[in-house]
A = this chain, B = another copy of it.
């Protein structure tokens, strides 16, 4: 499979996964079916649109290429008829979100690197692509953004995925198989983070700040 086609397939897969997560959140929030379409579009296409705006290479793919609507509409329909739904553990949204994260951090970094950005910028753009759509989904649905998911690290696996993709690109070892492998690694890392409750150190090591954060958590819990 040539890299161009692989990029498209990957990008559509990530779009589908994030669109499912958007449509599921629309169900949770009691949106109607057009609201679901809008939230699924924002989530599925948002990260890629931000990426394309930042790369400044004409009209973003999501608007220039009608093909991108297929996974979005498909996701809305699948959720509408109940083929995919939130189970008792409320983990379905999370699994699809993780799949979107995994594909988009690799794709964003690859597309940015191919566009000629330096390696550091390519990693950043990969992370931005991965977390951008979900962040807009959560902001519009008035939900605490998953970037700060208390269940386990969220953005960290995308740094690893984008970093690995750029490293392999620099070493000229990148291709469709490597992309799939890195994405699977990110996907597994994110799910393991939730299942095992992996957490990172807090943003401050000051005892007073840590106490305040703990008290807030207790009050919110």
> Residues of A with Cβ closer than 8 Å to B?
23, 26-36, 38, 49, 53-60, 63-64, 66, 69, 76, 79-82, 85-86, 117-118, 120-121, 124-125, 131, 135, 139-140, 142, 144-145, 147-148, 153, 155-156, 159, 199-206, 208-209, 212-213, 216-217
- Interface pair A85/B54, CB less than 8 Å apart: no
Q: How distant is the Cα of A23 from the Cα of B204 in the complex, in angstroms?
A: 9
Residues from chain B with a CB closer than 8 A to the CB of A57 are: 56
Q: Contacting A155 at CB < 8 Å: which of B38, B139, B142?
A: B38
Verify B32–A153 contact, CB threshold 8 A. yes
A120 engages B69 (CB within 8 Å):
yes
**Number of copies of chain A assembled together:** 3
Main SS class of interface, A: helix
Residues of chain B contacted by A148 (CB below 8 angstroms): 29-32, 35
Which 3 A-B residue pairings sit nearest by Cβ, starting from the closest? A36-B203, A30-B213, A82-B206
Inter-subunit contact A33/B201 (CB<8 Å): yes
Nearest-CB residue, chain B, relative to A208: B85
Instruction: Check if A35 sits within 8 Å of B155, measured CB to CB.
Output: yes
Contact A117 B63 (CB under 8 A): yes
Interchain CA distance A114-B216 in the complex, whole Å: 47
**Which residues of chain B come closer than 8 Å to A156, judged between CB atoms?**
34
Pull 21 A–B residue pairs with CB atoms less than 8 Å apart, ordered by A. Answer: A27-B202, A27-B204, A30-B213, A32-B201, A32-B202, A32-B203, A33-B201, A33-B202, A33-B203, A34-B200, A35-B203, A38-B131, A54-B60, A56-B58, A63-B125, A64-B117, A76-B203, A82-B204, A135-B140, A142-B144, A142-B145
